[in-house]
Amino acid sequence: MAQSEIFVMFDALCAKTEVFNHVPGGSNVLFLDGHVVFIKYPGRAPVTAAIATPDGAFLDFCENL
């Protein structure tokens, strides 16, 4: 796998789009080669519902809405 395909870090996700940091609902994703891409939710990994639901469960602001 190329370094440009491996994600390293991304903004906090929640399955509820109203609590996203970025309008229209998405996440900045940092890749191993250093580039950053905005991915709209739901989209390709790691900005998917399968990741947003468990990730959001650890965030107080997601649970309280």
In this prediction, residues 2-15 reach a mean pLDDT of 89
- For residue 44, what are the contacts with CB-CB under 8 A and spacing of at least 6? none
Report the amino acid identity of residue 22. H
Q: Is the pLDDT of residue 9 over 70?
A: yes
What is the value of pTM for the model shown? 0.78
What percent of the chain has a predicted confidence (pLDDT) above 90? 38
pLDDT tens digits along 42-62: 899 999 888 877 655 566 656
Q: Is the pLDDT of residue 19 over 60?
A: yes
Using the predicted structure, report yes or no on whether residue 65 has a pLDDT greater than 70: no
CA-closest candidate to residue 29, choices 20, 21, 38: 38
DSSP string, 9-46: EE----S-GGG-SBTTTEEEEEETTS-EEEEESS-STT
